[in-house]
Amino acid sequence: MSDLPRKAVTRTAKLAALPLGFAGRATWGLGKRIGGRSAEIVAREVQQRTAEQLFKVLGELKGGAMKFGQALSVFESALPEDLAGPYRAALTKLQEAAPPMPARTVHKVLAERLGEDWRELFIEFEESPSAAASIGQVHRAVWHDGRDVAVKVQYPGAGEALLSDLAQLGVFARLLGPLIPGMDVKPLITELRDRVSEELDYALEAHAQQVHATEFAGDPDVVVPGVVHQCEQVLVTEWMEGIPLSEVIADGTPEQRDRAGQLLARFLFSGPARTGLLHADPHPGNFRLLPPAAPDEERDEALGASDAPDDRDIGGGVATAAEPGGEWRLGVLDFGTVDRVPGGLPRPIGEALRMTLDGEAQAVYEMLREEGFVKESIDLDPDAVLGYLLPVIEPAQTEEFTFTRSWLRSQAARIADLRSPAHQLGKQLNLPPSYLLIHRVTLSTIGVLCQLGATVRLRGELESWLPGFVLDPEREEGTPADI
């Protein structure tokens, strides 16, 4: 694998080849059918070849192309099963890995950012990356104070590549439609492009991660690695072991699936309430399932957390389990994309959800209009709006709910069917810009829960963490909701 392709013409050519590949496989499939093979078998082979080429190109290009592929991967559960099968393996690969950049490029970046004597900062440094993602790759190392660390190195030219890829993918968005039937992928690309500058800024990422690491230190459920050092294009954090969530999805036990799902839901709602930040990249590659901390491990980690960082460090320590011998914990990585939500998720979300569950059609409709989900020029039947929303929030109607691919497919099909009342009503609803990222994170998390097939007590998490979901007795009736 050569260095990250940076010239727009090179990257555009690779992306432009995708539609030609689709056409070529269609012609190949026609030839096979004329030759006597069944249409069903040929169609599956065409889908498989299409998936392999599409995600091979996205992975090689990294940048915005791979970021887009990762965003698509969490929606895999919504695909009809006959389409999901051929794509599932290729999608999963994007959640965890990509072709690495050469060691010479890594060394060049480290020398430029950490100094020519950068190796003196490490007792050990593994040349082969442990993970490669959309704009950077991670190397395992041992920091000069003996801590195991993850060294995240940004690809040279990642910013230019990201913008170029997303612009080109917008042109070919219609060709990617079969991956998510009924969903317009252009707004997703636009949103990703708007977040480029923040994700490229490792100082912002380091701050967001350290805020979470400090808040969740000692938490029995969630572990966030502390930040060790940060500079332009390089981010060093505590190393985290654990089972990648993609492996739990593929081979996890029912206990692991349910626990991972419960903690994922808990982190989605408790994180904003506790930190004022929303982790906005919830694909399985960013989560680990960790065993309970052993007594010796917990004591060692606690001692490490008390050590003062050196003058190059901006943080130290790592969150640990409060009580050894407890349950599995959720490890959270990659805080490059966050949404700032002071006070937690917006109160109107919780209030509208509660009123929908209570069947208050008119009140829900008025709140949706007030928040901009229904434009002033649109008039809708409040009861029809309630009927549209209720199936979607089914997981919050009972004490616990089992998320399944079939349930998500049924919801996607109901909204995507051009003949259905739900589709016609959905086209008239609006998504205010301030809710774009929250909406994406919520849908993505539901997608992962369905991949896990987890049974989750979602209602309890909403009651504990979502502002407005539980009726406040001190709030006078008719008082406008705080935002």
Name the phi and psi angles at 364, rounded to 5.
Answer: -65, -45
Specify the pLDDT at position 437.
83
Q: Looking at the structure, tell me whether residues 352 and 447 fall in a common domain.
A: yes
Evaluate whether residue 407 is within a structural domain.
yes
Specify the pLDDT at position 431.
80
Residue 30 has pLDDT above 50, yes or no: no
Return d(Cα 119, Cα 271) in angstroms, integer: 36
Pairing of β 136-143 and β 122-125: antiparallel
Domain boundary among 181, 205, 233: 181
The candidate with the shortest Cα–Cα distance to 282, out of 98, 441, 446, is: 441
pLDDT in tens, 334-354: 998 899 999 899 999 999 999
Of residues 23 and 151, the one with the higher pLDDT is: 151
Residue 283 has pLDDT above 80, yes or no: yes
Q: Looking at the structure, tell me whether residues 352 and 443 fall in a common domain.
A: yes
Evaluate whether residue 400 is within a structural domain.
yes
Of residues 107 and 160, the one with the higher pLDDT is: 107
Of residues 13 and 376, the one with the higher pLDDT is: 376
Pairing of β 338-340 and β 277-279: antiparallel
Residue 26 has pLDDT above 50, yes or no: no
The candidate with the shortest Cα–Cα distance to 226, out of 316, 340, 350, 109, is: 316
Mean pLDDT of 398-418: 89
Q: Looking at the structure, tell me whether residues 355 and 283 fall in a common domain.
A: yes
Q: Looking at the structure, tell me whether residues 276 and 374 fall in a common domain.
A: yes
Whole-structure pTM over 0.85, yes or no? no
Residue 25 has pLDDT above 50, yes or no: no
Specify the pLDDT at position 353.
97
Residue 259 has pLDDT above 50, yes or no: yes
Q: Looking at the structure, tell me whether residues 451 and 352 fall in a common domain.
A: yes
Number of folded domains that form the chain? 2
Return d(Cα 66, Cα 59) in angstroms, integer: 5
Evaluate whether residue 438 is within a structural domain.
yes
Mean pLDDT of 88-93: 52
* Residue 178 · residue 78 · CB < 8 Å: no
Partners of 234 in the β-ladder: 153, 231
Name the phi and psi angles at 26, rounded to 5.
Answer: -65, -40
Evaluate whether residue 401 is within a structural domain.
yes
Q: Looking at the structure, tell me whether residues 362 and 478 fall in a common domain.
A: yes
Q: Looking at the structure, tell me whether residues 176 and 273 fall in a common domain.
A: no
Return d(Cα 289, Cα 452) in angstroms, integer: 12
Specify the pLDDT at position 71.
55
Mean pLDDT of 218-244: 96
The candidate with the shortest Cα–Cα distance to 20, out of 168, 166, 175, 170, is: 175
pLDDT in tens, 174-184: 555 444 443 45
Specify the pLDDT at position 424.
86
Of residues 317 and 192, the one with the higher pLDDT is: 192
Residue 312 has pLDDT above 90, yes or no: no
pLDDT confidence tier of residue 366, bands split at 50, 70 and 90: very high
Angle between helices 186-194 and 158-171 (to 10 degrees): 160
Name which of 11-25, 45-59, 414-428 the model is least confident about: 11-25
Return d(Cα 72, Cα 66) in angstroms, integer: 10
- The total of other beta-carbon atoms located within 10 Å of residue 454's CB is 27
Mean pLDDT of 187-211: 80
Residue for token digits 């419960």? 262
The candidate with the shortest Cα–Cα distance to 192, out of 47, 66, 302, is: 66
Evaluate whether residue 479 is within a structural domain.
yes
Specify the pLDDT at position 428.
87
Q: Which amino acid is at 297?
A: E
The candidate with the shortest Cα–Cα distance to 118, out of 141, 94, 84, 88, is: 141
Specify the pLDDT at position 118.
97
Evaluate whether residue 469 is within a structural domain.
yes
Q: What is the 3-state secondary structure (H, E, C) of the chain?
A: CCCCCCCHHHHHHHHHHHHHHHHHHHHHHHHHHHCCCCHHHHHHHHHHHHHHHHHHHHHHHCHHHHHHHHHHHCCHHHCCHHHHHHHHHHHHHHHHCCCCCCHHHHHHHHHHHHCCCHHHHEEEECCCCCEECCCEEEEEEEECCCCEEEEEEECCCHHHHHHHHHHHHHHCHHHHHHHCCCCCCHHHHHHHHHCHHHHHCHHHHHHHHHHHHHHCCCCCCEECECEEEEECCEEEEECCCCEEHHHHHHHCCHHHHHHHHHHHHHHHHHHHHHHCEEECCCCHHHEEEECCCCHHHHHHHHHHHHCCCCCCCCCCCECCCCCCCCCCEEEECCCCCEEECCCCCCHHHHHHHHHHHCCCHHHHHHHHHHHCCCCCCCCCCHHHHHHHHCCCCHHHCCCCEECCHHHHHHHHHHHHCCCCHHHHHHCCCCCCHHHHHHHHHHHHHHHHHHHHCCEECHHHHHHHHCCCCCCCCCCCCCCCCCC
Domain boundary among 181, 215, 231: 181
Specify the pLDDT at position 15.
47
Evaluate whether residue 219 is within a structural domain.
no
Return d(Cα 134, Cα 216) in angstroms, integer: 26
Specify the pLDDT at position 150.
97
Q: Which residue range is the domain that position 356 belongs to?
A: 243-291+328-483
Specify the pLDDT at position 325.
46
Mean pLDDT of 185-197: 63
Evaluate whether residue 138 is within a structural domain.
no
Mean pLDDT of 313-327: 43
Q: Provide the mean pLDDT of the chain.
A: 77
